[in-house]
Amino acid sequence: MSKYNFNIDNYHAIGHADIEIEGITVIVGSNGCGKSTMSRWLYYIVNTLSVLDSFFFSDFRDVIINNSSLIIQ
């Protein structure tokens, strides 16, 4: 299982946070402490990495497939 560590400083309601994500992670706290901000931030990070991953690897996969078909012909 992968483990991810993040540090956040002065982001909306979050003054400072050291975050470690491994397996199932639950965010708890009182009202106004930044739970929703943290959730949106994590969604943004995961979504951005996923888009970048699919963008780079789909292009790489296409290059491999196209070049391998040229070699085979």
Domain count, the chain: 1
Q: Would you say 47 and 26 are in contact if contact means Cβ atoms under 8 Å apart? A: no
Question: What is the rounded average pLDDT of the residues 38-67?
Answer: 75
Structural domain boundaries enclosing 26: 3-72
pTM for the complete prediction? 0.57
Sign of CA dihedral 57, 44, 24, 10: positive
pLDDT at 60: 65
Sorting pLDDT into bands at 50, 70 and 90, what band is 1?
A: low
pLDDT digits (tens, 9 = 90+) for 12-52: 888 898 988 888 888 898 998 888 988 888 888 888 877 77
Sorting pLDDT into bands at 50, 70 and 90, what band is 72?
A: very low
